[in-house]
């Protein structure tokens, strides 16, 4: 007779106290692409979380050192591919500050307008994709419809749909096409008229509220400790926005229109509400910029530059309020046509690190809801 071995498989005994290590990603729908989460589980509860990054790293900061000041704009606009115009903006502001260059007033207001349109485009993506991750497919169709309205005007003015390459050191690539401001104003009005669908379809949905209210609460202390910024930080009650607190471009003249949206709850629902309200305010800011542009006389939108552009020796730091949070460039120059060092501080990098504090103690079922509410772009983490 052949001996047999019996194995007991159950949920009692040692199995209850055995930790399991679960890798989610780097190629998994729950991780927004090539982010990897290394989770330690006790049953269905997460006891330890480690975001593992670098799968998309392309060495942009090192490539900056081998490109001149015109070429680095192309590299810089790609790390957060949903905020390309804002990424370009930080670079040119840093170089202009090193050069002590004044940008024409018309270019300042145009930059502000395009930055706010880019903010709406960024936010609409997350307003549609976050409900999708929780099982609601309809909002993303509406989000993409509104994005197309604004993509048309952004493509008309710049020639690009994702990587606009419209900023230049000293201003912008070129002036607006004839009649563009009227088409931009109509697109903003159309998008605003349909934004209430996100209130009805998403915030009015009891399943969405049940999955997000009180889930993934981020304390203000963790926001400060990890350098979290943008809508995520403001949803935890950290009232900080560079557009108001350190105005750049034309934001100093837009304080009556600018509204910094905050919440105190710090949960997934609060982060979504901040994102939605900030989208409404970005549309208002775009209208205010269009009003101001209508009052300005025709004029240049850039400065004439030498054939070889060299920044003087020194260093500077330029930071902007990108759609996802603070984006900063630390520029060091040795007086050559290429940067000696250009360090990028991206919003998503800091925002995603706080998952080590946020995920422990939560259920695996809530992990996707929490991760989706962090509103990050993987390229913005890896650079």
Q: Is the pLDDT of residue 294 over 60?
A: yes
Do 110 and 48 reside in the same domain of the chain? no
Q: Is the pLDDT of residue 149 over 90?
A: yes
Alpha-carbon torsion angle 272, 130, 190, 321, nearest 10: 50
Phi, psi of 307 (to 5 degrees): -60, -40
**3-state SS of 6-60?**
CCCCCCCHHHHHCCEEEEECCCEHHHCECCEEEEEEECCEEEEEEEECCCCCCCH
Domain that holds residue 32: 19-52
**3-state SS of the chain?**
CCCCCCCCCCCCHHHHHCCEEEEECCCEHHHCECCEEEEEEECCEEEEEEEECCCCCCCHHHHHCCCCCCCHHHHHCCCCCCCHHHHHHHHHHHHHHHHCCCCCHHHHHHHHHHHHHHHHHHHHHHHHHHHHHCCCCHHHHHHHHHHHHHHHHHHHHHCCCCCCCCEECCEECCCCCCCHHHHHHHHHHHHHHHCHHHHHHHHCCHHHHHHHCCCCCCCHHHHHHHCCCHHHHHCCCCCCCHHHHCCCCCHHHCCCCCCCCCCCCCCHHHHHHHHHHHHHHHHHHHHHHHHHHHHCCCCCCCCCCCCCCCCCCEEEEEEEEECCEEEEEEEEECCCCCCCEEEEECHHHHHHHCHHHHCCCCEHHHHHHHHHCCCCCHHHHHC
Contact in structure between 331 and 69 (CB atoms under 8 Å): no
Instruction: Find the mean pLDDT for residues 156-182.
Output: 92
Taking phi over 0 as left and psi of -120 to 50 as alpha, with beta for the rest, 335 belongs to left
Do 71 and 47 reside in the same domain of the chain? no
Write out pLDDT tens, residues 77-105: 888 889 999 999 999 999 999 999 999 99
> Is 288 within the bounds of a domain?
yes
Look at residue 13 in the predicted model and tell me its pLDDT.
Answer: 44
> Is 12 within the bounds of a domain?
no
Look at residue 32 in the predicted model and tell me its pLDDT.
Answer: 67
Task: Tell me the C-alpha distance between 350 and 363, whole Å.
Answer: 23
Look at residue 217 in the predicted model and tell me its pLDDT.
Answer: 94
Q: What is the pTM of this model?
A: 0.91
Q: Please give the residue that has the higher pLDDT: either 122 or 204.
A: 122
Query: How far does CA 340 lie from the centroid of its chain?
Result: 27
Do 43 and 120 reside in the same domain of the chain? no
Last residue of a domain, one of 11, 30, 52: 52
Last residue of a domain, one of 7, 36, 52: 52
In this prediction, residue 10 has a pLDDT band, given cuts at 50, 70 and 90, of: very low
Q: How many CB atoms lie within 10 A of CB 2?
A: 3
Look at residue 24 in the predicted model and tell me its pLDDT.
Answer: 85
Do 93 and 152 reside in the same domain of the chain? yes
Do 34 and 176 reside in the same domain of the chain? no
Look at residue 57 in the predicted model and tell me its pLDDT.
Answer: 87
Do 102 and 43 reside in the same domain of the chain? no
| Residue with token string 């991780």 | 31
Last residue of a domain, one of 52, 71, 99: 52
Instruction: Find the mean pLDDT for residues 193-215.
Output: 91
Q: Is the pLDDT of residue 354 over 60?
A: yes
- Looking at the structure of the chain, the number of domains it has is 2
CATH number at residue 370: 1.10.645.10
> Is 368 within the bounds of a domain?
yes
Do 39 and 136 reside in the same domain of the chain? no
> Is 304 within the bounds of a domain?
yes
Task: Tell me the C-alpha distance between 88 and 82, whole Å.
Answer: 12
Taking phi over 0 as left and psi of -120 to 50 as alpha, with beta for the rest, 314 belongs to left
> Is 107 within the bounds of a domain?
yes
Classify residue 265 by burial, with Cβ atoms within 10 Å: 0-12, 13-18, 19+.
Answer: middle
> Is 5 within the bounds of a domain?
no
**Vertex 234 angle, CA 75 and 346, to 5°:** 15
Query: How far does CA 133 lie from the centroid of its chain?
Result: 18
Q: Please give the residue that has the higher pLDDT: either 56 or 222.
A: 222
* Chain length of the chain: 383
Instruction: Find the mean pLDDT for residues 196-222.
Output: 91
Do 169 and 286 reside in the same domain of the chain? yes
Look at residue 30 in the predicted model and tell me its pLDDT.
Answer: 60
Do 304 and 353 reside in the same domain of the chain? yes
Do 289 and 165 reside in the same domain of the chain? yes
Taking phi over 0 as left and psi of -120 to 50 as alpha, with beta for the rest, 325 belongs to left
Instruction: Find the mean pLDDT for residues 265-285.
Output: 95
In this prediction, residue 29 has a pLDDT band, given cuts at 50, 70 and 90, of: low
> Is 259 within the bounds of a domain?
yes
Write out pLDDT tens, residues 11-24: 444 445 567 888 88
Instruction: Find the mean pLDDT for residues 40-57.
Output: 90
Do 35 and 129 reside in the same domain of the chain? no
Nearest Cα to 120, choosing from 188, 173, 69?
Answer: 188
Look at residue 11 in the predicted model and tell me its pLDDT.
Answer: 44
Instruction: Find the mean pLDDT for residues 203-231.
Output: 93
> Is 9 within the bounds of a domain?
no
Do 39 and 167 reside in the same domain of the chain? no
């Amino acid at each position: 007779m052949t001996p047999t071995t019996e194995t007991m498989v159950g949920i009692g005994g040692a199995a209850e106290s055995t930790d399991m290590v679960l890798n989610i990603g780097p190629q998994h729908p729950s991780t927004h692409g090539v982010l990897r989460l290394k989770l330690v589980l006790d049953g269905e509860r997460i006891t330890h979380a480690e975001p593992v990054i670098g799968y998309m790293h392309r060495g942009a900061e090192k490539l900056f050192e081998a490109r001149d000041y015109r070429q680095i704009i192309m590299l810089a606009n790609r790390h957060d591919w949903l905020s390309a115009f804002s990424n370009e903006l930080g670079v040119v502001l840093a170089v202009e500050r090193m050069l002590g260059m004044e940008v024409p007033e018309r270019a300042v207001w145009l930059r502000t307008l395009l930055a706010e349109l880019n903010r709406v485009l960024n936010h609409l993506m997350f307003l549609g994709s976050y409900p999708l991750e929780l099982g609601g497919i309809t909002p993303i169709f509406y989000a993409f419809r509104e994005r197309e309205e604004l993509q048309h005007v952004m493509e008309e003015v710049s020639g690009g749909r994702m990587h606009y390459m419209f900023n230049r050191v000293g201003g912008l690539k070129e002036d607006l096409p004839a009649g563009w401001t009227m088409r931009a104003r109509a697109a903003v009005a159309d998008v605003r008229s349909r934004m209430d669908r996100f209130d009805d379809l998403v915030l009015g949905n009891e399943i969405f509220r049940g999955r997000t209210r009180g889930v993934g609460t981020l304390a203000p202390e963790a926001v400060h400790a990890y350098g979290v910024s943008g809508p995520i930080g403001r949803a935890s009650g950290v009232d900080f926005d560079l557009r108001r607190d350190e105005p750049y471009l034309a934001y100093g003249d837009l304080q009556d229109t600018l509204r910094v949206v905050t919440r105190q709850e710090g949960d997934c629902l609060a982060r979504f509400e901040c994102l939605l309200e900030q989208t409404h305010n970005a549309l208002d800011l775009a209208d205010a910029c269009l009003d101001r542009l209508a009052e300005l006389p025709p004029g240049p939108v850039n400065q004439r530059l030498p054939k070889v552009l060299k920044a003087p020796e020194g260093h500077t730091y330029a930071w902007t309020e990108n759609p996802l949070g603070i984006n900063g460039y630390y520029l060091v120059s040795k007086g050559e046509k290429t940067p000696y060092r250009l360090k990028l501080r991206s919003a998503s990098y800091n925002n995603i690190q706080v998952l080590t504090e946020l995920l422990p103690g939560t259920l695996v079922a809530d992990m996707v809801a929490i991760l989706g509410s962090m509103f990050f772009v993987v390229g913005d983490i890896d650079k």
